[in-house]
Amino acid sequence: MSAPGPADATVWPARDAPSDELLERTHRLWKELVRRGEVLPRSWVEEAARDLKSGELPGLWLPGTTGAAGLVVYSMRQERAFAHVHVDVGSDQGPRAKLLVRTLLGSLPTGVRRVDIGLSGLSDEAEDAVGRELVTELGGVLVLRRAMERPIGPADGIVVPLPSEGARTMPIRALPTAQVAELDWRAFQGTADANLVADTVEEDRRGIEELLEGRLGRFLDEASEALVTADDRLVGAILVSEQDPQHAMVCDIVVEPSDRRRGIGRFLLRRSFRALHGLGYGFLRLWVTEANLPARSLYEELGFLPVSTARIYRWGPPSGAAAPHPQVDR
């Protein structure tokens, strides 16, 4: 008799999993995300496992007697959900991942209009295949994101001239967070990255506050700056955090839409290179959406090279349609 496959498996609410099982699964998820360049504090493992067990953080659990298990962690923001599906190594990884995605979609509250789902634990080829199969079977789109990295070296220690006469730089913390959030919100509207992180200006502001508080790694004030023109207009900003003692991460870089193609993004990055060289960091990493061709071109020109990929499966129900089944008791 063959071993039970995903079709025979039962997906449970994560709160029903043993505490040690949740701790192990969240640790595996954390390691996978950090390995490919995501930024998550080490404390997230214990916090997520605790909140999954209490039900404060919603999630799903697929038991596996030989380690071939899976975990879903998700959060709700009004009519939108953000989720991550992680599956352990095994020959049926793809079917398990699709089962967890289907179960997740069937368990979400009525009225959810969009779900962004990350996948991990799969090889790059398998992740791409699963994402494409989900689009074919359930609809939606597959968003490809690339992590790019650049070494920081002695050549980055040079002085970087301002991009226009009378312009000046300011520490990010010297500006009202709401002002930075408004620029961030405007800059991403109509681009390939629109609504990737926030659905409202207020949500954007909260995200920036979390960055400043070090939620995604120690915030590097020295490498994070805003650019203001001679007439006091905020036209660009870059926010950088520490990933580890050798790696820094560009968490956000934005330019006022009407001021693009004037060298502002290049200037902000080169200023960060100089600061990071002085601080002793060896590498700078960032994420970019594959479809964002102008940003990719700039990063490649400045020496960034791709180091890993991630895919976001984005699903939204057709008008009047229900979420896919099976459902899970909540």
Tell me whether residue 328 is exposed, middle or buried, using C-beta atoms within 10 angstroms of its C-beta: 0 to 12, 13 to 18, 19 or more: middle
CATH for 153-281 is: 3.40.630.30
Q: Which residues contact 8 (CB under 8 A, 6 or more apart)?
A: none
Q: Output the pLDDT for position 119.
A: 93
Q: What angle do CA 77, 57, 212 make, to 5 degrees?
A: 65
Q: DSSP letter at 172?
A: G
Phi, psi of 96 (to 5 degrees): -65, -40
Q: Output the pLDDT for position 66.
A: 52
DSSP per-residue letters across 76-145: EETTEEEEEEEE-SSTTHHHHHHHHHHHHHHHSPTT--EEEEEEESS-HHHHHHHHHHHHHHH--EEEEE
Q: What is the pTM of this model?
A: 0.84
Q: DSSP letter at 200?
A: S
- Give CA–CA dist 97/140, Å, rounded: 16
pLDDT band at 316 (very low <50, low <70, confident <90, very high): confident
Q: DSSP letter at 160?
A: -
Q: Output the pLDDT for position 10.
A: 85
- Asked whether residue 328 carries a pLDDT value surpassing 80, the answer given is no
Q: DSSP letter at 324?
A: P
Q: Output the pLDDT for position 327.
A: 37
pLDDT band at 5 (very low <50, low <70, confident <90, very high): very low
pLDDT band at 195 (very low <50, low <70, confident <90, very high): low
User: Percentage of the chain with pLDDT > 90?
Assistant: 65
Q: Which residues contact 22 (CB under 8 A, 6 or more apart)?
A: 14, 49, 52, 53, 61, 71
The fold for domain 6-144 equals Aminopeptidase (3.40.630)
> Average pLDDT in the 59-77 region?
82
- Asked whether residue 264 carries a pLDDT value surpassing 80, the answer given is yes
- Asked whether residue 322 carries a pLDDT value surpassing 80, the answer given is no
Query: Higher model confidence: residue 321 or residue 107?
Result: 107
User: Percentage of the chain with pLDDT > 70?
Assistant: 90
Q: Output the pLDDT for position 144.
A: 93
> Average pLDDT in the 39-47 region?
82
Q: Output the pLDDT for position 67.
A: 52
pLDDT band at 4 (very low <50, low <70, confident <90, very high): very low
Q: Output the pLDDT for position 181.
A: 94
- Asked whether residue 1 carries a pLDDT value surpassing 50, the answer given is no
123-137, 257-271, 309-323: the lowest-pLDDT one: 309-323
pLDDT band at 65 (very low <50, low <70, confident <90, very high): low
Q: Output the pLDDT for position 68.
A: 56
Q: Which residues contact 162 (CB under 8 A, 6 or more apart)?
A: 168, 169, 267
Q: Output the pLDDT for position 41.
A: 73
- Asked whether residue 243 carries a pLDDT value surpassing 90, the answer given is no
Element spanning 249, H or E:
strand 247-255
111-115, 149-153, 196-200, 241-245: the lowest-pLDDT one: 196-200
State the span(s) of the chain assigned CATH 3.40.630.30.
Answer: 6-144, 153-281
